[in-house]
Amino acid sequence: MTTQRTNWFVRVLLIVICAALAAMWIFYFFFASDQGVYQMQDTTWREKALPICQAAQAARAELADTGGGYISDPTDAQMLQRADIVDKATDIIEAMLDDIVAIPVDNDDDRTRLTTFEENYRIVISDRRRYTSILRELKLESYRETIVGGGPVSNVVLDFTAGVKGNDVPECSPPGELGGDIQP
């Protein structure tokens, strides 16, 4: 009799689990919102942000020719030159950020999204400034990003700008000019 009772309990438990999984998938495919966590509801924001970010990309591209690649053993002058270029690029990024977060939006949810985006992008900027100060001390260290939510802070910014359910403005993403030596 105990085995019968155990079998009955296991069957009921499996049926409940299967029903819960089926309900979850039905909800996901038919009822869940297609809007991402970071996706702006105000569709005009993207239209206004895109030219600002494209101009910032163009300005950064004019700073230096990075075709030479990563220098594994730079001279002091090369380290200082790299710090200058990264600081100029960061100045451009900071001005871009100031401009895109100043774009007015028409609802509180989008203002909250922009605030979160700005806070995380400011961390990226701070990380870049910390990196250049280390270079100016003539110390060769890898660029390190602050960890947010278990990963590099740039992941949060990328989710907002270019993620699957983001805002489709990859031009506003953090630049990759430090990508050759990033360590989270």
Using N-to-C axis directions, what is the helix angle for 76-101 and 44-61, rounded to 10°?
160
pLDDT value, residue 52: 97
Domain ranges of the chain: 1-31, 44-183
Does 28 have pLDDT greater than 70? Answer: no
Closest CA to 175 of 114, 70, 96: 96
How far is Cα 113 from Cα 104, in angstroms, rounded to an integer?
Answer: 12
**The predicted structure's pLDDT at residue 91:** 97
Q: Does residue 145 have a pLDDT over 50?
A: yes
Q: What's the mean pLDDT in 66-87? A: 80
Phi, psi of 140 (to 5 degrees): -95, 100
Mean pLDDT of the chain: 84
Q: pTM score, two decimals?
A: 0.76
